[in-house]
């Protein structure tokens, strides 16, 4: 569920087809810093977790974000 939702959010934020988002995609290659802030905000809202911008810098890929959110939901 987390993986699918984060990929859906990423597709929407970065204006890409959902099927194009892969776990190894780097946020830096998908969009700019404003897009990253929107991505963080949307994940926080969707999963009711806190993700600082600094923490997001430590999560370079979609897969890293998925693992981080999954760990916070346990």
- Known catalytic residues are 32
Retrieve residue 43's tokens. 């994940």
Q: Per residue, what are the HEC states of 35-60? A: HHHHHHHHHHHHHCCCCCHHHHHCCC
Could you tell me the sign of the dihedral formed by the alpha carbons of 52, 57, 58, 61, in that order? Answer: positive
């Amino acid at each position: 569920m987390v993986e699918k939702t984060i990929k859906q959010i990423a597709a929407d934020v970065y204006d890409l087809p959902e099927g194009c988002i892969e776990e190894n995609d780097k946020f830096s290659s998908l969009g700019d810093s404003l897009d990253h802030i929107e991505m963080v905000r949307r994940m926080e809202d969707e999963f009711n977790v806190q993700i600082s911008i600094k923490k997001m810098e430590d999560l370079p890929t979609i897969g890293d974000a998925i693992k981080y959110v999954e760990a916070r939901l346990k």
